[in-house]
């Protein structure tokens, strides 16, 4: 008999990065997931069927992410691990040490995706070291996070390997479809952070999302994620609850009709809900 985990795995959609690496379109975010309780949450996510785990140096949880992955009993090649360099480095050597320290904390030989967490003054230098790490097999893919058009273009002009992914804020209230188009044109895939707005908007009680959810026999959370996925945007929602993990992964067996896509599009206010953009981001 098929388990729910089998079913999630069978219906999961993937995006193929420009180097041919296949990346799950839905993964599990781990911001604020720490300690023993956090480790159990990550184990639960893997057990539920998540095959992409998103961490970062800044989350202070690479150890428990690596431990949960290593002890999951799931073949390493079947789990996609993302981490992010969250501290500015001044030189390639320093960046290489930073990458090595992440791998050491994770207890893994390689990560599947290595990102720069946000634009730093020496992003180009850092990215050069990431290109080398990629060529050495320490990362199966490399990319960026929070690179808006100016730093993105600057990096494009100075890199050898086009970033494979840009992870940026995106949710129904601020989809950033213009960014998605710009990225797609360059060959970079977009992944959303804060698909549920990190609690900044009452998305789960949004009347429109709930109205549509009722018609599809789904929840507002599922409609919000499905809308992003149908727009070609990958998602990494975080939750500490098993039933919500299931709910957030169970989004690949229905399709939003064009009229509903159009209606949800009206929610987009074209404004960030986060005001922590640094000078280097612009
Ligand atoms: N690159 C970056 O700069 C950056 C920035 C922010 C985040 N991220 C990444 O993106 C991930 C996702 O973003 P996020 O964790 O900040 O916020 P989020 O996924 O937008 O929202 C998480 C919140 O939604 C709740 N939730 C999740 N599923 C739910 C459901 N089905 N029904 C009701 N409530 C639900 C969770 O509560 P419970 O846990 O109580 O269920 C939690 O409070 C992060 O974990 C991190 O990996 C990256």
Predicted confidence (pLDDT) per residue in 6-38, tens digit: 666 567 899 999 999 999 999 999 999 999 999
- Which residue in the block uniquely carries the two structure tokens 């494979």? 164
Question: In this model, does residue 1 exceed pLDDT 70?
Answer: no
Question: In this model, does residue 89 exceed pLDDT 70?
Answer: yes
Alpha-carbon dihedral sign for residues 24, 25, 30, 36: negative
50 has catalytic annotation: no
Testing ligand 1's pocket by substitution, the residue of 176, 194, 199 carrying the most ligand atoms inside 8 A of its CB is 194
Euclidean distance between CA atoms 260 and 143, whole angstroms: 32
Q: Would strands 14-16 and 22-24 be described as parallel, antiparallel, or unpaired?
A: antiparallel
Euclidean distance between CA atoms 100 and 71, whole angstroms: 21
- Cβ–ligand 1 distance for 146 under 6 Å, the answer yes
Atom of ligand 1 nearest to the CA of 193: 10
Q: How large a percentage of the chain has pLDDT more than 70? A: 95
- Cβ–ligand 1 distance for 247 under 6 Å, the answer yes
Position 156 scores a pLDDT of 97
DSSP state of 159: -
- Cβ–ligand 1 distance for 281 under 6 Å, the answer no
Longest dimension (CA), the chain: 55
Whole-number average pLDDT of the chain = 95
Question: In this model, does residue 279 exceed pLDDT 90?
Answer: no
Outline where DSSP puts E strands in the chain.
14-16, 22-24, 28-29, 52-54, 80-85, 113-116, 142-145, 165-169, 189-193, 234-235
Q: Separation of 238 CA from ligand 1 center, angstroms? A: 4
Sorted by sequence, the CB contacts under 8 Å of residue 152 that are 6+ apart come out as 144, 163, 166, 182, 183, 186, 188
Phi then psi for 260, rounded to 5 degrees? -70, -35
| Entry pTM | 0.96
- Cβ–ligand 1 distance for 14 under 6 Å, the answer no
3-state DSSP assignment of residue 34 = coil
The CATH class that applies to domain 4-273 reads alpha beta
Testing ligand 1's pocket by substitution, the residue of 27, 28, 30, 31 carrying the most ligand atoms inside 8 A of its CB is 31
Testing ligand 1's pocket by substitution, the residue of 239, 278, 281 carrying the most ligand atoms inside 8 A of its CB is 239
Protein residue whose Cα sits closest to atom 42 of ligand 1: 239
Position 11 scores a pLDDT of 79
Euclidean distance between the first and the last CA atom of the chain, given in angstroms as a whole number: 52
What value does the mean pLDDT take over residues 139-160?
A: 96
For residue range 67-83, list pLDDT tens digits in order. Answer: 999 999 999 999 999 99
Alpha-carbon dihedral sign for residues 120, 122, 126, 128: positive
- Which residue in the block uniquely carries the two structure tokens 């710009």? 182
Question: In this model, does residue 198 exceed pLDDT 90?
Answer: yes
For residue range 205-261, list pLDDT tens digits in order. Answer: 999 999 999 999 999 999 999 999 999 999 999 999 999 999 999 999 999 999 999
Position 275 scores a pLDDT of 77
Euclidean distance between CA atoms 152 and 119, whole angstroms: 9
Question: In this model, does residue 5 exceed pLDDT 70?
Answer: no
Euclidean distance between CA atoms 25 and 138, whole angstroms: 22
HSE-up of 24 (CA within 13 Å, CB side)? 28
Question: In this model, does residue 174 exceed pLDDT 90?
Answer: yes
Domain ranges across the chain: 4-273
């Amino acid at each position: 008999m098929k388990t729910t985990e089998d079913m999630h795995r069978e219906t999961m959609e993937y995006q193929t990065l420009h180097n041919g690496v296949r990346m799950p379109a839905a993964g599990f975010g781990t911001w604020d997931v720490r300690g023993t309780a956090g480790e159990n949450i990550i184990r639960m996510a893997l057990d539920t069927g998540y095959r992409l785990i998103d961490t970062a140096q800044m989350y202070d949880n690479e150890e428990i992410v690596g431990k949960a992955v290593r002890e999951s009993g799931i073949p390493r090649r079947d789990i996609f691990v993302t981490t992010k360099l969250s501290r500015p480095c001044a030189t390639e050597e320093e960046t290489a040490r930073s990458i090595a320290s992440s791998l050491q904390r994770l207890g893994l030989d390689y990560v599947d995706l290595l990102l720069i967490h946000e634009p730093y003054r020496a992003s180009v230098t850092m990215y050069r070291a990431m290109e080398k790490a990629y060529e050495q097999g320490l990362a199966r893919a490399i990319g960026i996070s929070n690179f808006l058009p100016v730093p993105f273009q600057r990096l494009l002009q100075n890199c050898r390997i086009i970033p494979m992914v840009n992870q940026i804020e995106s949710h129904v209230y601020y989809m950033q479809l213009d960014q998605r188009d710009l990225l797609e044109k360059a060959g970079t895939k977009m992944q959303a952070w804060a698909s549920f707005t990190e609690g900044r908007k009452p998305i789960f009680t949004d009347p429109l999302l709930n109205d549509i959810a009722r018609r599809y026999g789904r929840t507002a959370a599922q409609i919000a994620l499905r809308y992003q996925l149908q727009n070609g945007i990958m998602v990494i929602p975080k939750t500490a609850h098993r039933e919500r993990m299931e709910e957030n992964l169970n989004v690949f067996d229905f399709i939003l009709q064009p009229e509903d896509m159009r209606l949800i599009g009206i929610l987009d206010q074209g404004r960030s809900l986060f005001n922590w953009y640094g000078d280097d981001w612009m």
